[in-house]
């Protein structure tokens, strides 16, 4: 049984917690149906507060919780993902009140547990020191305050979602729902995530580049020339890219460029470029009515049959089949 915790500070913004819980609750239910297992989502999707008491929402009502922070830490319950809800009020005061949360976040990150922070929830991750020298986003009205408090964080508040290697931030409630579906995919698989998205996120339109989300985690290396190449590829993947020209532009031979790119990112340059194009094509298949040929052209493939072959190799199905279920 998978376990997802949703942490609620006092003065929580209720919808940042309840929307995520509802999505995860449904995902656990669907997962049980798909696997023909008896799963009680209420046991595995749990609200957590500092002391286990109901949490006051900023709007005046209360949310009951399932566990205290002390209980989930001392019981050493296996965790598959955790969400950090948004709060109302001065971050300094909220961070002081929730100091006990920070060591647990560090422990979870060391165990490679995905941690997702919604709206101003990234303040918790930054206060724990987990976002130092890493990319993050945050609710735009508090971006300046966040940057002043955490100057070592690479803040990209214009992005809806960021990925800093199992540390995920969403800059608002809508993007938080998209992030929840991404976490659901990690925990329960793509079929469950797709069904949750289809059934409960009708009308949601992503306004961020999926490439910015999926590839941030491959940038925590120290090779600045390769980082420059990655950023160029992310801006220009739709063009007729010649990797030998990219190599020459950053002062490398093609062979040295390929070797260093693979060492830094784990992918060859050509495979990295393919992944960028596949991410973009999946997004266009989901949110537009463009033909497959038009999408292939937009992401850099002039040959429809070749585009379809590459797409099937990456996704396991043809573009039109993907669109039917996306």
CATH of the domain at 147: 3.40.50.880
SS3 101: helix
Q: Would the pLDDT of 30 be above 90?
A: yes
| Residue 160 · residue 216 · CB < 8 Å | no
Distances (CA, A) of 159 to 35, 135, 182: 36, 10, 16
Where among 153, 173, 208 does a domain terminate?
Answer: 208
| Global confidence as pTM | 0.72
Residues 272 and 302 in one domain: yes
Judge whether 111 lies within some domain: yes
CA distance 296 to 281: 7
Where among 181, 208, 235 does a domain terminate?
Answer: 208
Q: String of b and e for 259-290 (b: at least 16 CB within 10 Å)?
A: ebbeebbebebeebbbbbbbbbbbbbbeeeee
Residues 275 and 185 in one domain: no
Residues 262 and 322 in one domain: yes
Q: pLDDT class for 132, splitting at 50, 70, 90?
A: very high
Residues 248 and 99 in one domain: no
Where among 208, 231, 260 does a domain terminate?
Answer: 208
Q: pLDDT class for 208, splitting at 50, 70, 90?
A: very low
Residues 201 and 227 in one domain: no
Residues 190 and 286 in one domain: no
SS3 230: helix
Give the contacts of 64 (CB within 8 A, at least 6 positions apart): 47, 54
SS3 161: strand
Judge whether 217 lies within some domain: no
Number of domains in the chain: 2
Q: pLDDT class for 205, splitting at 50, 70, 90?
A: very low
Judge whether 213 lies within some domain: no
Beta strands in the chain (DSSP E): 4-7, 45-49, 55-56, 62-63, 67-68, 81-84, 115-118, 135-136, 154-155, 161-163, 167-170
Residues 200 and 231 in one domain: no
Q: pLDDT class for 206, splitting at 50, 70, 90?
A: very low
Q: Would the pLDDT of 112 be above 70?
A: yes
Judge whether 187 lies within some domain: yes
Judge whether 236 lies within some domain: yes
Judge whether 194 lies within some domain: yes
Residues 60 and 110 in one domain: yes
SS3 136: strand
Judge whether 198 lies within some domain: yes
Residues 202 and 317 in one domain: no
Residues 114 and 195 in one domain: yes
104-118, 167-181, 218-232 — which is least confidently predicted?
A: 218-232
| Residue 277 · residue 237 · CB < 8 Å | yes
pLDDT at residue 79, rounded to an integer: 93
21-30, 160-169, 243-252 — which is least confidently predicted?
A: 160-169
Structural domain range at position 186: 4-208
Q: Would the pLDDT of 141 be above 80?
A: yes
22-31, 90-99, 179-188 — which is least confidently predicted?
A: 179-188
CA distance 143 to 250: 33
243, two tokens: 């990797």
pLDDT by residue (tens digit) across 45-90?
A: 999 999 999 999 998 899 999 999 999 987 677 899 999 999 999 9
Residues 161 and 55 in one domain: yes
- Domain containing residue 263: CATH number: 1.10.10.60
Residues 270 and 234 in one domain: yes
pLDDT at residue 212, rounded to an integer: 53
SS3 64: coil
Mean pLDDT on 175-193? 87
pLDDT by residue (tens digit) across 280-322?
A: 998 899 888 899 999 999 999 999 999 999 999 998 999 999 9
Judge whether 215 lies within some domain: no
Q: Give the residue, 196 or 211, on which the prediction is more confident.
A: 196
């Amino acid at each position: 049984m998978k376990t997802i915790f949703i942490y609620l500070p006092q003065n929580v913004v209720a919808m940042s917690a309840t929307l995520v819980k509802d999505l995860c609750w449904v995902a656990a239910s669907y997962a049980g149906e798909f696997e023909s297992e008896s799963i009680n989502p209420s046991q595995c999707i749990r609200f957590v507060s500092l002391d286990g008491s109901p949490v006051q929402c900023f709007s005046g009502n209360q949310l009951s919780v399932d566990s205290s922070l002390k209980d989930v830490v001392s019981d050493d319950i296996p965790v598959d993902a955790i969400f950090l809800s948004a709060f109302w009020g001065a971050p300094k005061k909220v961070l002081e009140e929730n100091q006990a949360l920070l060591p647990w976040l560090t422990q979870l990150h060391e165990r490679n547990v995905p941690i997702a922070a919604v709206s101003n929830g990234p303040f918790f991750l930054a206060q724990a020191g987990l976002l130092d020298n890493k990319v993050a986003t945050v609710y735009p009205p508090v971006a300046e305050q966040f940057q002043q408090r955490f100057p070592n964080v690479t803040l990209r508040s214009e992005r809806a979602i960021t990925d800093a290697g199992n540390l995920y931030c969403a800059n608002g409630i809508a993007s938080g729902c998209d992030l929840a579906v991404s976490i659901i995919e990690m925990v329960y698989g793509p079929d469950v995530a797709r069904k949750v998205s289809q059934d409960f996120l009708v009308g949601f339109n992503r306004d961020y580049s999926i490439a910015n989300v999926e590839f941030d985690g491959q940038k925590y290396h120290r090779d600045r020339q390769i980082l420059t190449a990655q950023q160029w590829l992310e801006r220009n993947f739709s063009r007729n890219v010649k990797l030998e020209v990219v190599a020459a532009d950053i002062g490398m031979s093609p062979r040295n460029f390929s070797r260093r790119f693979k060492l830094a990112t784990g992918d060859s340059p050509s495979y990295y470029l393919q992944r960028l194009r596949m991410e973009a094509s999946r997004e266009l298949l989901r949110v537009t009515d463009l033909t497959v040929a038009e999408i292939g052209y937009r992401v850099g493939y002039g040959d429809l049959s070749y585009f379809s072959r590459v797409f099937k190799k990456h996704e396991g199905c043809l573009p039109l089949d993907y669109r039917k279920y996306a």
